[in-house]
Amino acid sequence: MDGAYKRLNALIEIGADMIIDSTLNKLIALQIAKYQQGIKEITAELAKFEEKYGMSSEDFYRRFESGELGDEGDFVEWAGFCENTLLYKNRIKTLETALKE
């Protein structure tokens, strides 16, 4: 990562701030779109579990985390999808904050 910082600083030193800013905004937007697509794909998987077990993913995850539900294979997989959704949403929030700065 040290090399990336050196290259970035070199560009800043020569006055390429606007190019850097534009490029970073495009990269951030691309990454946000990837996370949004991931959430869309995961949502389809979550819907299967919600239908099968008759509860929302939010309710399931709260109950799973509190230990109310067992650790059968479906529940572990469902929890993994829930955790990935939360991770992606947090990353999107971080990236969107960076775009506003």
**Is position 10 within any domain?**
no
**Is position 18 within any domain?**
no
Phi-psi region for residue 99, left (φ > 0), alpha (ψ -120 to 50) or beta?
alpha
**Whole-model pTM?**
0.82
**Is position 54 within any domain?**
yes
Query: How many structural domains comprise the chain?
Result: 1
Between 5 and 58, residue with greater pLDDT:
58
Q: Contact, 60 vs 81, CB < 8 A?
A: no
**Is position 12 within any domain?**
no
Residue range 61-77: mean pLDDT, rounded: 94
Q: What percent of the chain has pLDDT over 90?
A: 76
- pLDDT band with cut points at 50, 70 and 90 for residue 31: very high
Q: What percent of the chain has pLDDT over 70?
A: 99
**Is position 13 within any domain?**
no
Domain range for residue 40?
26-100
**Is position 21 within any domain?**
no
**Is position 51 within any domain?**
yes
**Is position 49 within any domain?**
yes
